Structure 1
Amino acid sequence: MNDSFAKIRNYILETRLWILLVAINLVGTAYGFYFYADQLRETSILLWIFVADSPLSTLGIAAAVTLRKLGKQNRYLDAYAFLANLKYGLWTAIVLLIYFQGFTSINSMGMYLFLFFSHLGMALQAFLIEEVDLKALTVVGMFFVANDFLDYFFGVHPFIPSDNIVYAGLTAVFLTLIGLLAGWKNRD
């Protein structure tokens, strides 16, 4: 990992900034569930874990950082937080770019930019998880493959303002693989 990023990561995690990071992620989680409220109402409760990808990602990183600070690290939560924030942070930013016209027709430019940059921040914060356990990453990776399958074969994916969701689906699968490779490189 880049020394500059390692210094930033250590500064955040070794000072009280980690509390601000957790708070920001919890606010993002709450907003994310608000954002997904209509879709959750229309989806079986059994599938909810596959619907609210970004809010569950930010909740995961908040929990992983908090547990780490409390000395109760969980390797599966760390792997989930790493892969989820990297994947869904990048996926959302890419999908916002691919379907720019559709998203800007239903959101203000301010909201569009907020969603874009906050999700890029999610991808960056994935690397606050210093090391990822390979076994845990493998298990979590299987969950993400199942999630991609449900999203694009059974329509559980987040709302995309287009009838052509092929690019969104290909991006999701590609980012699952990239996330697994990045986690493998970042393993303990």
Structure 2
Amino acid sequence: MNVIYTILADKRFLWLLFLINGAGSIYGYIWYESQLATTPSIFIPFVPDSPTASLFFTFVLLAFILGKNWPIIEALALITLVKYGIWAVVMNILSLIVLGDLSWQGYMLIASHGAMALQAILYGRFYKLKLWHVLLAAVWTLHNDVIDYVYMHYPQYPGLELYVKEIGYFTFWLSIVCIGIALYYVRIMKQGKNFHIPSYHS
């Protein structure tokens, strides 16, 4: 295991990322507060996409801190973090192009969501994914797309309302790509090329 993965597996670094992702998840749910207030309760679990993705990863980190793997959560975190990390970066750049300006929060979202996608990929070698984990996570992810762009409970970005159909199409194929990434990691697991998080309680 090279120096990068040694740092990623260090308990102090895991705790740091755990706190960052936990705080980011809370901030994300607050960001969605106004939209959630007008969302029917049956759709609420599928509206705050990014904070739910980072919450999945927060639980992945907690498992790592405990020296464990929770593969179904790992599959959900991998697919949704990469998907919504990339998605938010693209949407904020599109907002900048359409509106000609972007608030400091927009630039902060670009940086933070880019980091979300990156951390999910970096920790991929520590996952213990099997095909059925990815398939279940894929159902969640594609179902979420249906809620967003069939029932129209997608994340609301100023100035992008005219492009909802195009955004929905992009989002669907982004989901497919991210599911493909998770399947790639399943292949790595089968080849025994994954790493193990140390058991800090042994």
TM-score, normalising length from structure 2?
Answer: 0.83
Contact kept in structure 2, 1:64 and 1:73, CA below 8 Å? yes
Q: Does 1:81 align with 2:77?
A: yes
| Bigger Rg, which one | 2
Structure 1 residues 103 and 40 mapped into 2: Cα distance closer, same or farther (>3 Å)? farther
Contact kept in structure 1, 2:14 and 2:64, CA below 8 Å? no
Contact kept in structure 2, 1:96 and 1:116, CA below 8 Å? yes
In structure 2, C-alpha distance between the alignment counterparts of 1:141 and 1:20, rounded to whole Å: 29
Alignment equivalent of 1:122, drawn from 111, 116, 121: 116
Q: Does 1:38 align with 2:10?
A: no
Structure 1 residues 94 and 72 mapped into 2: Cα distance closer, same or farther (>3 Å)? same
Alignment equivalent of 2:50, drawn from 32, 54, 70: 54
Q: Does 1:93 align with 2:92?
A: no
Instruction: Return the offset for 1:35.
Output: 0.3
Contact kept in structure 1, 2:11 and 2:65, CA below 8 Å? no
Q: Which residue of 1 aligns with 2:22?
A: 26
In structure 2, C-alpha distance between the alignment counterparts of 1:13 and 1:48, rounded to whole Å: 34
Cα RMSD for the two superposed structures:
1.8
Q: Which residue of 1 aligns with 2:182?
A: 183
Provide the identity percentage.
Answer: 25
Contact kept in structure 1, 2:15 and 2:65, CA below 8 Å? no
Q: Which residue of 2 aligns with 1:166?
A: 165
Report Cα offsets for 1:55-104 as digits up to 9, x if no partner: 01111101111112213421110100111100000011111122324566
Q: Which residue of 1 aligns with 2:60?
A: 64
In structure 1, C-alpha distance between the alignment counterparts of 2:80 and 2:133, rounded to whole Å: 13
**Aligned residue pair count:** 182
In structure 2, C-alpha distance between the alignment counterparts of 1:61 and 1:104, rounded to whole Å: 33
